[in-house]
Amino acid sequence: MIERAETTLQPVRLKFLLGELVLGAWWPHLVVADPRGFGLADWPDPPETLRAALPPGADGFFCRKVDAGRFAPGVGRYGDFVRYVPQRDVLHYVALSGDFEGYLRKFSPKSRQNLIRSVRRFLERAPGNGCEVFTAADGMPGFHAEALAISRQTYQTRLLDAGLPDDAAFVREMMALAERGEARGYLLRDGGRAIAFAWCRSRDERLIYDIIGYLPECASLSPGSVLLYLILQDVFAAGRYGILDFGPGEAQYKSMFATHRQEFADVYLFRPTLRHRLLAHLHFRLAGLSGAAGALLERWGLKKRIKGWLRALR
């Protein structure tokens, strides 16, 4: 077995995207291997070790957080495996050392003042404004219902199919995580109404900022920044976690709130079949075409307008 990682066998979705349009999806059954540490220079394990650990029903491995310099993006080989690296990525996270007041000092004086002012103004808008925290299993169905009502109105759900899952199996998973003390749900309330949510789950000392959303009509209140400020205040006070993991990808809020930035790549290692090689090439080429088209639209000043039209249509 892979001793340096947590592993689960599950279907993994690779979306075929053209811009923000989902054209289809590929669902290989993979052993998802998440290393227990950051920056392991010799991760993943040698192909011979992986081949011996591959279950009969699996299509391959999905190795998370591989050092960014180890493999170039594209399709290649790793021993007998078909190696696929969609892209190099970046992980932002907050090191939860010290206290919350010390963390706030990482911001420039002006940024810190603006952030605190935004939070104070929101909390003073109406009686009862603030953040509600859900950690108990019996509270998860209620949290899910309110968070789902928000998520359904976000563009992540309407356009990217990346919002909060709405099936009963996901609610059962939330409750199981809560029973093990590995779940934290947050709702930001404005006058009693839930306007933003964050679903977080923990792994060892890492709290993963997993699924988020806010009502588009409330954007002027900066609900995302206000909620994240209150979440950080909560997790610093809890004293249970070493880092708050924002997950892969660039975003303004991540670079603003994070204390650390790490480059990495997620690497797919498939059984050496023609189907796996063709689908990996198709996925990579379509992503390249989408990126080139996006860059061209950006140069022409049309990207934001077209994205707005697509979101309105959905």
16 and 61 both lie in a single domain = yes
Query: In sequence order, what are the residues at sequence separation of 6 or more whose Cβ sits closer than 8 angstroms to the Cβ of residue 92?
Result: 246, 250, 251, 254, 255, 257, 258, 260, 261
Structure confidence at residue 100 (pLDDT): 97
Does 255 fall in a domain? no
122 and 138 both lie in a single domain = yes
Statement: residue 311 has pLDDT above 60: no
Q: What is the mean pLDDT of residues 135-156?
A: 92
Tens digits of residue pLDDT in 11-51: 999 999 887 678 899 999 999 998 876 667 789 999 999 99
227 and 108 both lie in a single domain = yes
Specify burial of residue 32 (Cβ count, 10 A radius: 0-12, 13-18, 19+): middle
Q: Which among 245, 248, 265, 239 is positioned nearest to 257, based on CA atoms?
A: 245
pTM: 0.75
Does 253 fall in a domain? no
Structure confidence at residue 78 (pLDDT): 97
Tens digits of residue pLDDT in 167-211: 999 999 999 999 999 999 999 999 999 999 999 999 888 999 999
Does 252 fall in a domain? no
- What is the distance between the alpha carbons of residues 270 and 101, in angstroms, rounded to a whole number? 47
Tens digits of residue pLDDT in 261-298: 988 999 999 999 999 999 999 999 999 998 787 666 66
68 and 140 both lie in a single domain = no
Tens digits of residue pLDDT in 181-192: 999 999 999 999
Count of the separate structural domains present in the chain = 2
Tens digits of residue pLDDT in 91-141: 999 999 999 999 999 999 999 999 999 999 999 998 889 999 999 999 999
206 and 289 both lie in a single domain = no
Does 246 fall in a domain? no
303 and 216 both lie in a single domain = no
Distances in Å between the Cα of 117 and the Cα atoms of 41, 43, 113, 231 are 43, 44, 6, 16
Query: In sequence order, what are the residues at sequence separation of 6 or more whose Cβ sits closer than 8 angstroms to the Cβ of residue 313?
Result: none
- What is the distance between the alpha carbons of residues 295 and 303, in angstroms, rounded to a whole number? 8
Q: What is the mean pLDDT of residues 242-256?
A: 91
Is residue 245 within 8 A of residue 91, CB to CB? The reply is yes
Statement: residue 313 has pLDDT above 60: no
48 and 66 both lie in a single domain = yes
Statement: residue 228 has pLDDT above 70: yes
229 and 295 both lie in a single domain = no
Structure confidence at residue 309 (pLDDT): 56
Statement: residue 312 has pLDDT above 80: no
Does 138 fall in a domain? yes
Does 257 fall in a domain? no
Statement: residue 232 has pLDDT above 80: yes
Does 304 fall in a domain? yes
18 and 67 both lie in a single domain = yes
Q: Write down the mean pLDDT value for the chain.
A: 90
Statement: residue 301 has pLDDT above 70: no
217 and 147 both lie in a single domain = yes
Does 256 fall in a domain? no
Residue 140: CATH number of its domain: 3.40.630.30
Structure confidence at residue 290 (pLDDT): 83
Tokens of 42: 């010799």
**3-state SS class at 73:** coil
Q: Which among 215, 226, 48 is positioned nearest to 121, based on CA atoms?
A: 226
158 and 182 both lie in a single domain = yes
85 and 42 both lie in a single domain = yes
> What residue numbers bound the domain in which 173 lies?
98-241
Domain boundary among 180, 207, 241: 241
- What is the distance between the alpha carbons of residues 248 and 262, in angstroms, rounded to a whole number? 9
Structure confidence at residue 41 (pLDDT): 76
